[in-house]
Amino acid sequence: MSESTRLDYRAAGVDLDAAERAKERLKSLVAATRDENTLSELGLFGGLYSVPLGVANPVLVSSADGVGTKLKVAFLANRHDTVGQCLVNHCVNDILVQGARPLFFLDYLASGGMDEETVTDVVTGVAQACKENACALLGGETAQMPDFYAADEYDLAGFIVGIVARDNVLDGSRVRAGDALIGLPSSGLHTNGYTLARKIVFETMSLCVDDGFPGSDRMVADVLLDVHRSYLSALAPILDTGTIRGLAHITGGGIPGNLPRILGTDLGARVDLSSWEVPNAFRVLAEAGKVERDEMLRVFNMGVGIIVLTSPDDAEGVLTALREGGSAPWVMGEVEAGEGVRW
């Protein structure tokens, strides 16, 4: 083989030097999320974390998720610092609804190339959200896959582990007919429904990321890249009080797809759609895309991020505690005999 045809990993599309430089830039971000239980630093094959003391009959709760095609909006806008926050907050909420507080988080970022600035922006968002949720960023993986992803694209996934006392696990077993449904507002589309949203916004409406979003003084990118809200700080003060009988994170499948997950086979729910004002973004998508109401409710959260289930006697106290914590909760319905969600 002649000198001109010799190949190496970089010529094949994988830049190991760039990967090492990116890893060095990430060390301080990861270190900033360490807590007293973190026993390892970035660079080991596995992250080490000591199970906290003081939790009676501790149960570990884990979850894994991604950001979906919200990433496509980040690519178009060349804005990468928010999707990492979305990823962490989504995973935090997924274990929060079981009553768990997060311990540590790991991320997986696979890209077509190694753009060091993009990787740093993404992980900066991950680290920021980990700090906000008192969650250690224990490690992760950054993979270059040039034959799998486009050069300027990447995929992102997260893995979380949390802890809850066995007696405080929320599994829906305490939910009863007559329980109140209390809604907590979402901060936009969160991380679901983006395939439909992008089709409506960029194809049907022919908008670009830097165009104004109808009915808003913000750009399309601002609206579509709003950070998926974490509900940990809102719910933490009442999480172990026994007043919460169930929690539902309204993600893919909307209210009808997620609320029944914490109801028994003989329980359903009645939701009053007039109890809250659907945010502008969802109204615009429904009108421009001519999307039927039931499809909107099945695809999007429609302004509801989490639903709290509590007894009628505790409902007012829960509302007060959530308001004092800076949230804007409202009663949106009740649990009733039967199956499914009725409007």
Domains in the chain and their CATH numbers?
13-168 (3.30.1330.10), 180-342 (3.90.650.10)
pLDDT for position 13 = 73
**331 versus 32: which is more confidently predicted?**
331
In percent, the amount of the chain with pLDDT more than 90 equals 79
What is the rounded distance in angstroms from the CA atom of residue 31 to the CA atom of residue 138?
A: 9
- Across 306-321, b (16+ Cβ under 10 Å) vs e yields bbbbbbeebbeebbeb
Average pLDDT over residues 61-84: 97
Q: Is 2 a residue whose pLDDT tops 60?
A: no
Average pLDDT, the chain: 93
Q: Is 8 a residue whose pLDDT tops 80?
A: no
Q: Determine the 3-state secondary structure of 146 from DSSP.
A: coil
pLDDT band at 43 (very low <50, low <70, confident <90, very high): confident
Q: Is 1 a residue whose pLDDT tops 70?
A: no
Burial class from Cβ neighbours inside 10 Å (0-12, 13-18, 19+) for residue 55 reads middle
Q: Are 96 and 232 in contact (CB under 8 A)?
A: yes
Lowest mean pLDDT among 28-37, 47-56, 176-185, 258-267: 28-37
Average pLDDT over residues 23-51: 84
C-alpha angle 141-224-147 in degrees, rounded to nearest 5: 35
pLDDT band at 3 (very low <50, low <70, confident <90, very high): low
Average pLDDT over residues 3-13: 71
Average pLDDT over residues 218-230: 98
CB neighbours of 306 closer than 8 A, spacing ≥ 6? 93, 96, 97, 183, 184, 231, 235, 247, 248, 249, 250
Q: Is 240 a residue whose pLDDT tops 70?
A: yes
pLDDT for position 29 = 81
pLDDT for position 5 = 72
Q: Are 156 and 108 in contact (CB under 8 A)?
A: yes
Structure letter (DSSP) for residue 97 = T
pLDDT for position 296 = 98
